[in-house]
């Protein structure tokens, strides 16, 4: 919007000269019109001067003046008792801004008008409003619709019409309904054209509809100038044009567009009400030849009885005054003028002021005409009365809101033939509607289903997609990154002889597959973002800036979708997994898991298990049967739990999360040239802790060294890059998710119409088999790992995992040995104390005695014969020891006597059979144990029968003394007893 012209000395001089020119031009007689009345008491009425500034050379000006006169005539005829009468003082602005200002100055200074109806255009009103503010004279315009003429800035300006900005939501609803992502604004380069632009662009931005270009057409532009501008638009991609100008210039613009082939299939033209409201004033042949298929926003005018009556009266009056005009057109501005004149007459009558005077504030002799303009004493009161006036006008209820008419409903029209055809409505609260009485008024709709059938340019019924490739046919210029590492995503190979670069790998294959899914052909050229020597020309943000400044059309590569980047460019849907992760080595827990065997069971379970092993009873056999099942379950559970603990311990990362890493003070790695560096700095990582790398191999080297040896403790990068490292070194590192990002996407200019189509194509590719093939082609073939799970110490367990268990076993064994040695020395102390041998001899004697097999523990070892007295002593000692250690009671005396009989003949003499060699009885202790264990034989046998079997065993030549032990006798006895 141009800065408003201040009334300095040069302007005042020019106004004075223009004023003199108007006086001279109107010297043949003033355009004075007085509202006539049949009131017989007209002499008692109070005349009130009001001004009318219109362009009498235009149709709108002539129509407006006739509507004002008809309005006042009808008003006073129906209200003859009113005491005030408006006296019209008409001035012709001749379509000039300065002439309109000079006319207003004349009316205020010389006629002391109480209000001015007009001026006609927004540009003229900008001058006149300043005079109204200075003199407190309300300026009531019926056709100055520019939003820049605000009553907030100009309190004495009243717009008896709708603000142009009130239709921008209707325009945006149409754009939203058809999903157009770009639109070019074409408007006249003046106050009227520029006023709507801020609100219109704001409404389109809310829909994420981009305005790539704004075309300004001068009011006095020639056909050649218009053609040059249209040809520029034709070479662009966008095919949606929103036109805001008045019919004279607009009809020439559309006619030229028709001539250049821009009214053909695929184009979209949307006209504001600046043209559609005045379409009746345009030659019908021009409409039929150059406006076919155009959409428009038109102020809705309902049919009312008042309107029908007014149209009949006005046509009759106008034809009487202009008999040469056979079919005079009438438009919305005539209705506004009629209602505005009536509202002013009502407000003046409500004031009932007798003295409508002006106060002169400056009486200096050297004052200019502008300085001597008086101030109306009733201007403020008149404004208050106008703000409260309400009545049923020609088309709607007349009521001023913030100094202007409120806009509620617009009609969407489609120009076919020589007229505009209504195709539904737009309402402020409901959006696009089929009719103005919707059943559901709670929702705002922008559905194209609520619109009727549309005939588009080129007589097409198919909705244009809103963009096409430029007529020049140039390919899309696409940037690709040049990388030193992680080349699996993008690789640029340049032929040194031809200097031609070839771009391949994962991201490129994805892009090619997406392009094949588009419903149309798309030509493109891949350009590496490189310096002349082939190295990278900058970071990813630098690449994105090239698209933002429109040096390139897109970026294809491993570019992460970020919120701050989306403020400047448009991203497609992601085609990779999203997120930022931390890669750290596995923790070595071999020195910390020695007691891991205790962890599978809790302390109370260990205690309960130990208590159940303290069982001393003959019913132990029954207890053991049940306990076997308990031990079985415990054993299996213990094994599973221990295995899980071993896996988990060896799978632990060296750093658990990013907060631990931040507080540790260790160094952190990141991929060179990515946004991660700035992200780490924002997380308060010091610069000296940040280490960059360029390849997978370099990342592995840094992680293997560790922070203390000049490497890094962890690296933070995007998930696709982390997975690429894991695909080669999965046994060494573990990935820890850290932050959320949107993944990799393709970059296009803001509002690019390609983005929706490519995003849909990405979905088709990622959900289909092509995605798997591409991933296998560039990632799976290079991995040496079957999965990303770590190996657990080469899948084997070492002594270091259980040395705690062996420590317990060793301590118990040593303790048992010490106890045994103490008891041995105590039993054989008489050997040391009673002997007079030397110390060495005593030690040797103890050693020999220790070496000899203890008959209590080694029953199968063959010993030397002893005399019967010693044997009886040992036998007695063994009997007592067995009784104490086995809890088996000694045999009753009766049984003992019977056993003795068995061992001898019935006459009490030894058996005549020679089957019992003397050496057999040196193992009498084994026989004694067998007799004591008799009740445990299954099935149980009589002790006497067992003794007989023992005697037979002793006499059996096969049953050698070597196998005479408890187990051997027991097995032999069981076999015989069967």
User: When comparing pLDDT for 7 and 561, which is higher?
Assistant: 561
The tally of CA atoms less than 13 A away on the side-chain side of residue 402 is 10
pLDDT for 916: 41
Task: Assess whether pLDDT exceeds 80 at residue 69.
Answer: yes
pLDDT for 175: 94
Instruction: Output the CA torsion sign for 681, 683, 687, 691.
Output: negative
User: When comparing pLDDT for 88 and 865, which is higher?
Assistant: 88
Task: Assess whether pLDDT exceeds 50 at residue 547.
Answer: yes
pLDDT for 714: 92
How far is Cα 121 from Cα 107, in angstroms, rounded to an integer? 18
Task: Assess whether pLDDT exceeds 80 at residue 142.
Answer: yes
pLDDT for 956: 58
pLDDT for 868: 40
Confirm if 753 and 466 have CB atoms less than 8 A apart.
Answer: yes
**What is the distance between the terminal CA atoms of the chain, rounded to a whole angstrom?**
122
Domains in the chain: ranges and CATH: 46-161+333-360+370-405 (3.40.50.2300), 164-301+407-450 (3.40.50.2300), 476-578+747-779 (3.40.190.10), 580-589+652-741 (3.40.190.10)
Helix 769-778 vs helix 506-517: angle between axes, to the nearest 10 degrees?
160
How far is Cα 83 from Cα 356, in angstroms, rounded to an integer? 14
Q: For residue 106, give both structure tokens.
A: 């004349």
Phi, psi for residue 651 in degrees, rounded to 5: -95, 0
Confirm if 945 and 952 have CB atoms less than 8 A apart.
Answer: no
Q: Per residue in 401-445, pLDDT tens?
A: 888 888 888 999 999 988 899 998 998 888 898 888 766 566 788
DSSP bridge partners of 416: 419
Confirm if 90 and 337 have CB atoms less than 8 A apart.
Answer: no
Q: At which residue do the structure tokens 């004149």 appear?
A: 341
- Secondary structure of 285-323 in the HEC alphabet? HHHHHHCCCCEEEEECCCCCHHHHHHHHHHHHHHHHHCC
Residue 735, helix vs strand vs coil = strand
Q: Per residue in 761-820, pLDDT tens?
A: 999 898 888 888 888 888 754 445 544 444 444 445 555 555 665 677 677 777 877 887
* Local structure of residue 597 (DSSP, 8 states): G
The tally of CA atoms less than 13 A away on the side-chain side of residue 395 is 24
How far is Cα 381 from Cα 138, in angstroms, rounded to an integer? 10
How many C-beta atoms lie closer than 10 Å to residue 782's C-beta?
A: 11
Task: Assess whether pLDDT exceeds 90 at residue 255.
Answer: yes
How far is Cα 267 from Cα 456, in angstroms, rounded to an integer? 8
Q: How far is CA 273 from CA 209, 278, 420, 682, in A?
A: 21, 8, 12, 51
How far is Cα 805 from Cα 47, in angstroms, rounded to an integer? 119
How many C-beta atoms lie closer than 10 Å to residue 904's C-beta?
A: 13
* Local structure of residue 184 (DSSP, 8 states): E
Confirm if 176 and 213 have CB atoms less than 8 A apart.
Answer: no
Q: For residue 962, give both structure tokens.
A: 């070597």
How far is Cα 298 from Cα 283, in angstroms, rounded to an integer? 18
Beta strand 524-528 with 476-480 is parallel
Helix 868-886 vs helix 924-932: angle between axes, to the nearest 10 degrees?
30
Mean pLDDT of the chain: 77
Beta strand 390-392 with 397-401 is antiparallel
Q: Which residues of 785-816 are buried (b: 16+ CB within 10 A; e: fewer)?
A: eeeeebebeeeeeeeebbeeeeeeeeeeeeee
**953: confidence class by pLDDT, cuts 50, 70, 90:** low
pLDDT for 481: 92
Query: Strands of 668-671's sheet, edge to edge?
Result: 690-693, 668-671, 714-718, 580-585, 733-739
User: When comparing pLDDT for 834 and 48, which is higher?
Assistant: 48
Phi, psi for residue 245 in degrees, rounded to 5: -165, 175
Q: Per residue in 706-759, pLDDT tens?
A: 888 889 999 998 888 888 888 888 778 888 887 777 789 999 988 787 888 899
Residue 96, helix vs strand vs coil = coil
Q: Per residue in 71-120, pLDDT tens?
A: 999 999 999 999 999 999 999 988 888 889 899 998 988 888 999 998 98
pLDDT for 221: 92
Task: Assess whether pLDDT exceeds 70 at residue 859.
Answer: no
Confirm if 526 and 503 have CB atoms less than 8 A apart.
Answer: yes
User: When comparing pLDDT for 948 and 158, which is higher?
Assistant: 158
- Chain length of the chain: 978
Task: Assess whether pLDDT exceeds 50 at residue 20.
Answer: no
User: Contacts for 29-33 with beta carbons within 8 Å, 24 or more apart?
Assistant: 30/89, 30/90, 31/56, 31/89, 31/90, 31/91, 31/92, 32/87, 32/88, 32/89, 32/90, 33/69, 33/87, 33/88, 33/90
How many C-beta atoms lie closer than 10 Å to residue 86's C-beta?
A: 27
pLDDT for 259: 92
Beta strand 668-671 with 714-718 is parallel
pLDDT for 616: 54
pTM of the model: 0.58
Task: Assess whether pLDDT exceeds 50 at residue 400.
Answer: yes
The DSSP result for 674-734, as a single string, is: STHHHHHHHTT--GGGEEEE-SHHHHHHHHHH-GGGTS-SEEEEEHHHHHHHHHHHTTTEE
* Local structure of residue 95 (DSSP, 8 states): T
pLDDT for 929: 57
The tally of CA atoms less than 13 A away on the side-chain side of residue 664 is 18
CA-based Rg of the chain, rounded to a whole angstrom?
A: 55
Q: Residue 939, preceding bond cis, omega within 30 degrees?
A: yes
Cite the beta strand spans of 181-330 per DSSP E: 184-188, 214-217, 240-244, 268-271, 295-299
């Amino acid at each position: 919007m141009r800065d408003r012209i201040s009334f300095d000395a040069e302007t005042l001089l020019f106004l004075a000269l223009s004023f003199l020119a108007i006086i001279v031009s109107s010297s043949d007689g003033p355009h004075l019109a007085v509202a006539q009345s049949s009131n017989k008491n007209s002499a008692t009425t109070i005349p009130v001067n009001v001004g009318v500034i219109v362009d009498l050379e235009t149709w709108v000006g002539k129509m407006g003046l006739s509507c004002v006169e008809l309005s006042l005539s009808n008003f006073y005829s129906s209200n003859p008792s009113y005491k005030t009468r408006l006296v019209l003082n008409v001035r012709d602005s001749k379509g000039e801004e300065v002439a309109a200002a000079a006319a207003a100055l004349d009316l205020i200074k010389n006629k002391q008008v109480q209000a001015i109806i007009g001026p006609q255009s927004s540009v003229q009103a900008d001058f006149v409003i300043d005079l109204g503010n200075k003199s407190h004279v309300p300026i009531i315009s019926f056709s100055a619709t520019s939003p820049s003429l605000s009553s907030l800035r100009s309190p004495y300006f009243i717009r008896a019409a709708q603000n142009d900005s009130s239709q921008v939501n209707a325009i945006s609803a149409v754009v939203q309904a058809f999903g157009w992502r770009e639109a070019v604004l074409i408007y006249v380069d003046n106050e009227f054209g520029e006023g709507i632009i801020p609100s219109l662009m704001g409404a389109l931005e809310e829909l994420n509809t981009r305005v790539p270009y704004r075309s300004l057409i001068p009011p006095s532009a020639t056909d050649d100038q218009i053609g040059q501008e249209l040809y520029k638009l034709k070479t662009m991609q966008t095919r949606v044009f929103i036109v805001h100008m008045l019919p004279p210039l607009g009809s020439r613009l559309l006619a030229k567009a028709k001539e250049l082939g821009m009214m053909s299939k695929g184009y979209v033209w949307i006209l504001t009400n600046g043209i559609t409201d005045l379409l009746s004033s345009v030659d019908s042949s021009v409409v039929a030849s150059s406006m076919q298929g155009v959409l428009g926003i038109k102020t809705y005018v309902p049919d009312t009885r008042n309107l029908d009556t007014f149209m009949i009266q006005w046509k009759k009056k106008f034809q009487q005054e202009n008999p040469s005009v056979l079919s005079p057109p009438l438009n919305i501005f005539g209705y506004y003028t009629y209602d505005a004149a009536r509202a002013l007459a009502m407000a003046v009558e409500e004031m009932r002021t007798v003295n409508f005077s002006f106060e002169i504030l400056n009486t200096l002799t050297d004052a200019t005409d502008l300085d001597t303009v008086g101030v109306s004493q009733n201007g403020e009161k008149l404004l208050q009365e106008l703000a409260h006036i309400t009545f049923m006008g020609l088309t709607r209820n007349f009521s001023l809101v913030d100094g202007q008419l409120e806009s509620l409903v617009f009609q969407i029209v489609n120009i076919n033939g020589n007229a505009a055809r209504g195709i539904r409505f737009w309402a402020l609260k409901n959006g696009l509607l089929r009719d103005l009485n919707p059943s559901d008024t709670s929702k705002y709709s922008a559905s194209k289903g609520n619109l009727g059938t549309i005939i588009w340019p080129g007589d097409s019924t198919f909705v244009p997609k809103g963009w096409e490739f430029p007529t020049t046919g140039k390919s899309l210029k696409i940037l690709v990154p040049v990388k030193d590492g992680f080349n699996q995503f993008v690789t640029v190979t340049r032929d040194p002889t031809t200097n031609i670069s070839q771009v391949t790998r994962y991201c490129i294959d994805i892009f090619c597959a997406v392009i094949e899914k588009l419903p149309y052909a798309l030509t493109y050229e891949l350009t590496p973002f490189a310096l002349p020597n082939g190295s990278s020309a900058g970071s990813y943000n630098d690449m994105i800036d090239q698209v933002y400044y429109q040096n390139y059309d897109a970026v294809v590569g491993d570019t992460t979708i970020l919120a701050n980047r989306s403020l400047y460019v448009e991203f497609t849907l992601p085609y990779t997994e999203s997120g930022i992760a931390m890669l750290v080595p596995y923790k070595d827990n071999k020195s910390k898991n020695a007691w891991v065997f205790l962890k599978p069971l809790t302390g109370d379970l260990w205690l309960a298990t130990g208590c159940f092993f303290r069982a001393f009873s003959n019913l132990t056999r029954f207890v053991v049967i049940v306990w076997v099942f308990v031990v079985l379950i415990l054993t299996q559970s213990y094994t599973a739990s221990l295995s899980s603990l071993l896996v988990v311990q060896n799978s632990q990362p060296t750093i658990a999360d990013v907060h631990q890493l931040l507080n540790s003070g260790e160094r952190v790695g990141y991929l060179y040239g990515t946004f991660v560096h700035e992200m780490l700095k924002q997380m308060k990582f010091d610069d000296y802790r940040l280490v960059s790398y360029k390849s997978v191999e370099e990342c592995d080297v840094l992680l293997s060294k560790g922070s203390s040896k000049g490497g890094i403790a962890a690296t933070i990068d995007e998930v696709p890059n982390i997975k690429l490292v894991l695909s080669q070194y999965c046994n060494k590192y573990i990935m820890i998710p850290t932050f959320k990002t949107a993944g990799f996407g393709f970059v296009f200019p803001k509002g690019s119409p390609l983005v929706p189509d490519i995003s849909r194509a990405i979905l088709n590719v990622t959900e289909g088999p092509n995605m798997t093939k591409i991933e296998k082609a560039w990632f799976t073939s290079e991995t040496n790992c079957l999965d990303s799970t770590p190996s657990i110490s080469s899948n084997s367990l070492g002594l270091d995992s259980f040395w705690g268990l062996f420590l317990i076993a060793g301590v118990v064994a040593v303790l048992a040995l010490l106890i045994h040695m103490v008891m041995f020395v105590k039993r054989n102390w008489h050997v040391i104390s009673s002997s007079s041998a030397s110390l060495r001899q005593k030690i040797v004697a103890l050693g020999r005695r220790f070496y000899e097999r203890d008959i209590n523990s080694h029953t199968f070892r063959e010993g030397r014969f002893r005399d019967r007295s010693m044997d009886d002593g040992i036998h007695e000692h063994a009997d007592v020891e067995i009784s104490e250690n086995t809890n088996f009671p000694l045999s009753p005396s009766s049984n003992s006597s019977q056993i003795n009989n068995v061992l001898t003949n019935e006459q009490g003499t030894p058996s005549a059979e020679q089957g019992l060699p003397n050496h057999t009885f040196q193992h009498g202790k084994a026989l004694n144990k067998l007799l004591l264990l008799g009740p445990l034989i299954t099935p149980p046998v009589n002790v006497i029968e067992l003794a007989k079997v023992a005697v037979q065993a002793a006499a059996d030549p096969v049953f050698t003394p070597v196998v005479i032990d408890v187990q051997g006798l027991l097995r032999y006895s069981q076999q015989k007893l069967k």
